[in-house]
Each structure stands twice: as structure tokens, then as C-alpha cells.
Amino acid sequence: MKKLIHVFVIILILSLMIWKVAQGLSWLNSDGTYPAKPIEIVVPYDAGGGVDSFVRPVSKVIADEGWLDEPMVVLNQPGGSGTIGSRFVKEGRPDGYRLLCHHESIITAELSGAANFGPDDFELIAQTGEIILLVVVREDAPYKSIVDLLEAAKQSPEEIRFGANLGSPAHFTAMNLEKALPGAKFNLVSSGGGQTRYISVIGGHLEAGIFSLSEYLKFRSEEGTPKDKNIRALVTLSEKPLSILPGVKTCIEDGIDVTSSNAFYWWAPKGTPKEIRDVIADTLKKAMLHKEVRSRLGEQSIEPTFSDGDAVRRRVEKRLSILEPLKVKTANDLPDFPLYVGCVVLALALLAGLQSIKSVKKVKESNEVDLKIGMACFATLLIFLLLLEFSTLPFFLTSIAMIFSMGGFVCRWDKAQLPILIEIALIVGLGSEFIFGSVFGVSLP
């Protein structure tokens, strides 16, 4: 019976190794071209949101037209106002199989302190599509122009409640408007998504807020609706007036030198080869010219713009030059909590260590060995987690090493047990990658 089990284990290990080798070889086309497996497009927000609604028709057309040998798979990684998904890509391998589509929050998140990384930590591929932004008030609001709103914010600083999620492009646009009229100061309020912001304006909880053109057209009620139940575009932040909104001026026409829009950018991990980035950029350029994509973007009131190479780099540099002077300065105002917490944890660890030393002296030698084994296993697990977080080693290799090491410590490196440990480590390491990666489709480190 034992021999039969052993044979089964060997067959299982060999099958998993063959699968892993075949998987590795499948990543390469016969001619070595890219892509040779599906490309993950990470959207750092929930499915159905603005970025997600933009990416899906683009990826669908690319697949339908067969412009790439492999599909683009949309992977939603929400959380942290877009920073969790962005970090997931930043720490990915620079092989072109995990890309990020994100709007200008990738710039403002760093400037606001919400993230400790930004555009310089990625390779910029292209800019596709542009969202027009508006300043919106309730229809019965007394403000007839952006100048009226800023004058009110100057006469009563921080009393005009302005809806703009902190750290977002809208937040920085609001600060730019304040800067345009010295002394003007809004009470900037995090106002959630478009629906929540609309309800807040209608309910009188916000005097004004920034909306995308599509949000405004969606929430604007028909003529004849009571003014306290409707909204009005106070000004457009575009460079030119919008034909779809006759009578709505730009900020520039009102003498306020502020323009703002929110564009979608495509990013790759730092170090991704230019040849791969060029393949993606060329494909996106074709997609933005496709009639189906342009129709879908038109429904969302998104301008189907495109830029890559030097043009997109200049665009990002221009946005940075506008936004960097508004960088939130908090480092000198807040205590260094991570340092304090680290010092407290270190002090507690030292106290615990001293207590352990005193206790160890009182136990038998066998217990001392058990304590050392436990500490070795804990250290192995800690190293495993650090490797997953900071190294580029494959998940299955680090898992095999971790299982083998912990098993070795537990059996005190008994030579008779090592062959069994090797088998267990191989099954767990390769098996977990097969189950999570191929069966459940989970993207492993």
C-alpha cells in the first residue's frame, strides 16, 4: 500500500512539473513574439466604474479584431482610492503581461500623500481618452459664474462646501481655482461617487462640486423641473466651449486661467522593454480609431484622444508642473507615527526577549530545542512573506523552499525524512500554483 501511495505521489509530482514546464514554454510563441499569453489589464476600481467602463470596450474591440495574439483580461483590484491596484502593477514583473489603466489620480495620489509612488515608478505607454470636467451647482444657486463662486469663497472663507474627493484630480482642480483668486478658500469635502455627489448638491449639503460631463448629462433633469431639484453647469473646465452645453462658459472666458480634464493612461512596471510598450501603444492607437470604440466612448461623453511617446510624456510633465505647487505638505505637521510605532514594537520585543531568556534558563533541554525549532519556523515564514512582497522569485519556488525548510526544522533534519519532505514541498508548491492560478484564476506573486 505504501509503495502504491509513493508511486502515486511521484506521478503527481512529475505531472505538476510537466505542467509547469509546458506553461513556461507556452509563454513563448514559436517566433518569440509578444504576447504569448493573456495580458492582465489592472483596473484599480470596482467593476462598472468609470475606468472599468472605459477599458472593457477597448479590450473587446482588440480581441474581436485579432490585433493581438492573446486577449486582454480586465482584472479589478479596487481599494485605497486606486493605490492598491496601482501598487499591484508597480511590483509586477516587467514582462508586459500585467499593465495598469488609470486616470490622473496616479499623479495626485502621490502629491496628496495617499501613495508613496507615482508616475516615475512606472513606464508610461500611452494616453487614451479624455474626460471633460465641469463645476456644477444646484439650479437655484445664487452664483451665475465661477467668479461669483470664488468671490463668495473669498468673502466667507471655508464656508462654501465644494465636493471633491481628497487626493483626487478634482481636489487639485479646486485648489487651482482657489489659487486663481487670492483669498478664496473652499471647504473641500470628500463627496464619494457621482451619484452621492449629486444627492449632496440637491440636498443642500454641497454648494458646488466637480462632475464629469457624462455625470452631469446623466443627472441633469429635463426643463421645467423645480430649480431646487435640478443642477446647473456653472462653468466648463475645458479649453474650448462645449457645443453640447450652449451658454456655459469656460473658466478662461470668465477670466480664470484654469483648465482641467481627466485622461486615461496606460502604465507598465518599471523596466518593461520599449518593444513591448510599443506593441501595446500601437494596438491602443488602432482601438481609439475604431468606430465601435468611438461610439461607446461617445455614449460616455469621453473624447477619444490618443498620445504616446514624447507627446504623452510632455502631457504628464505639463500636468505635474501645474499640480506639484499644490502638493499637500503634511510631513512637518504630523508626528512620524510609523517611527513611533516601530520604536514601541522594538521595545516590547526586547522586553519579551529578555523574559524569554530568563524563562529558557528554567526549562529542560528538550524544551529549549522546541523553542529554537519554533523560532526557526517563524523566521522561515517571515522570510517567505518578505520574498513574496519584495522579490521577483516565482511563487512556486518560494513556497517549495518554505515548506522544505519548515519541515526540515520540525524533523530536526533527519536524513531519513528528507526525501518525503522534498515530495511534500514539491506537491504543495506546484500544486498550490496550479489550483490558484489555473483553476481559480488568481494572480499569484
Nearest alpha carbon to residue 175 among 332, 334, 330, 322: 322
> What pLDDT, on the 0 to 100 scale, is given for residue 360?
46
Q: Does the structure show a pLDDT above 80 at 356?
A: no
Nearest alpha carbon to residue 265 among 277, 256, 250: 277
CB 183 within 8 Å of CB 117: no
Tell me the mean pLDDT in the region 39-61: 89
Q: Does the structure show a pLDDT above 50 at 434?
A: yes
Tell me the mean pLDDT in the region 101-110: 89
pLDDT band at 91 (very low <50, low <70, confident <90, very high): confident
3 state DSSP class of 157: coil
2-26 and 418-433 are packed helices; what angle lies between their axes, rounded to 10 degrees?
Answer: 40
Q: What's the predicted TM-score (pTM) here?
A: 0.65
Class of domain 132-260: alpha beta
Pinpoint the residues of the chain covered by CATH 3.40.190.10. Answer: 132-260
Residue 173 has which C-alpha cell?
482642480
Q: Could you report the per-residue pLDDT of 137-188, keeping only the tens digit for each?
A: 999 999 999 999 999 999 999 999 999 877 788 888 999 999 999 999 999 9
Pinpoint the residues of the chain covered by CATH 3.40.190.150. Answer: 27-131+262-326
pLDDT band at 215 (very low <50, low <70, confident <90, very high): confident
What percent of the chain shows pLDDT beyond 70? 84
Higher pLDDT, 345 or 221: 221
Cis amide linkage into residue 35, ω under 30° from 0: yes
Neighbours of 358 (CB within 10 A): 9
> What pLDDT, on the 0 to 100 scale, is given for residue 355?
52
Neighbours of 16 (CB within 10 A): 18
Burial class (CB in 10 A: 0-12, 13-18, 19+), 343: exposed
Ranges assigned E (strand) in 140-179: 161-163
- Indicate if the alpha-carbon torsion angle 290, 291, 297, 302 is positive or negative: positive
Q: Which CATH superfamily is domain 27-131+262-326 in?
A: Bordetella uptake gene, domain 1 (3.40.190.150)
Tell me the mean pLDDT in the region 100-124: 89
Report the alpha-carbon distance of residue 86 to residue 269 in Å, rounded.
10
Ranges assigned E (strand) in 156-301: 161-163, 187-189, 208-212, 231-236, 261-269
> What pLDDT, on the 0 to 100 scale, is given for residue 403?
85
